Amino acid sequence: MAFFMEFDAKYWNGKYIHNKTKWDIGYVSTPLKEYFDQLKNKKTKILIPGAGNAYEAEYLINNGFENTFVLDISEKAIESFRQRMPTFPAHQIFKENFFEHQNTYDLIVEQTFFCSIDRDSRNAYVEKMVQLLKPKGKLVGLLFNHEFGQNDQPFGGTPQEYKNIFSPHFRFQHFDVAYNSIKPRQGREHFLCFQKK
Ligand SMILES: C[S@@+](CC[C@H](N)C(=O)[O-])C[C@H]1O[C@@H](n2cnc3c(N)ncnc32)[C@H](O)[C@@H]1O
């Protein structure tokens, strides 16, 4: 297990070091921005795992959500975030493996993290989300709703597959094609709001 974790950290760090980050859109995605904009409770404790450059965290903290936490396995991604956001509270930034993280949150944000996880680890991802969410906590974000036809990340999937793995643990408050995706992802992703059962 430790070998795979180290491999993952090196793999992802290399992507950031060599600027091979084609998933990085450079700003908070519109579906998430619009979701955040209608949240009323600024004290909500929020985790962004696999955050990368964490534009969502930047947006949240700049809009008064001071209880926002960032987590990524890549040293380089975390370091870049620290440099870009020097006033972001240091104790709210984790350079850590998601599967080893221990804490609980009201809201966890999914943005191209699930698709970076090995297919064999999907159930572990779901179980870890359940563990990290407080009772009635929510997992909110975006999932690609199609396959990419390749054996490398991003790993796609189908809405039916997601229903099968998430529905034993979550109530689906919303799960449909996002209407407000950024242009290159239009029609290709589902917006989800899953509440822990
Ligand atoms: C496809 S990128 C998405 C980054 C960011 N969410 C975005 O949309 O720009 C996947 C991210 O997950 C991180 N990651 C992959 N496996 C991880 C793990 N087991 N624990 C924590 N972070 C991980 C990678 O370092 C990378 O930053």
Assess whether the C-beta atom of 73 lies below 6 angstroms from ligand 1. Answer: yes
Assess whether the C-beta atom of 74 lies below 6 angstroms from ligand 1. Answer: yes
CB atoms within 10 A of CB 100: 11
Distance 39 CA to ligand 1 centre (A): 25
Mean pLDDT for the chain overall? 95
- In the chain, count of helices (H) and strands (E)? 6, 7
* Under 8 Å between Cβ of 27 and 62: no
Residue 150: pLDDT over 90: no
* Under 8 Å between Cβ of 141 and 125: no
Assess whether the C-beta atom of 72 lies below 6 angstroms from ligand 1. Answer: yes
157-168 pLDDT per residue, tens: 999 999 999 999
- Residue to probe by mutation, ligand 1, list 17, 72, 84, most atoms within 8 Å of CB: 72
Question: For residue 53, which atom of ligand 1 is closest to its CA?
Answer: 9
Assess whether the C-beta atom of 144 lies below 6 angstroms from ligand 1. Answer: no
pLDDT band for 184, please (50, 70, 90 cuts).
Answer: very high
Residue 6: pLDDT over 70: no
Residue 1: pLDDT over 60: no
Residue 4: pLDDT over 60: no
Tokens at 12, concatenated: 């992802």
Assess whether the C-beta atom of 24 lies below 6 angstroms from ligand 1. Answer: yes
13-35 pLDDT per residue, tens: 999 999 999 999 999 999 999 99
Taking the CA atoms of 101, 106, 109 and 125 in sequence, report the sign of the dihedral they define. Answer: positive
pTM: 0.97
Residue 72: pLDDT over 80: yes
Residue 113: pLDDT over 90: yes
Among 11, 137, 150, residue whose Cα is nearest residue 74: 11
Give nearest CA residue, ligand 1 atom 14.
50
Question: For residue 9, which atom of ligand 1 is closest to its CA?
Answer: 25
Assess whether the C-beta atom of 56 lies below 6 angstroms from ligand 1. Answer: no
Calpha distance 46→95 (Å, rounded): 16
The predicted pLDDT at position 8 comes to 87
Among 141, 162, 154, 178, residue whose Cα is nearest residue 24: 154
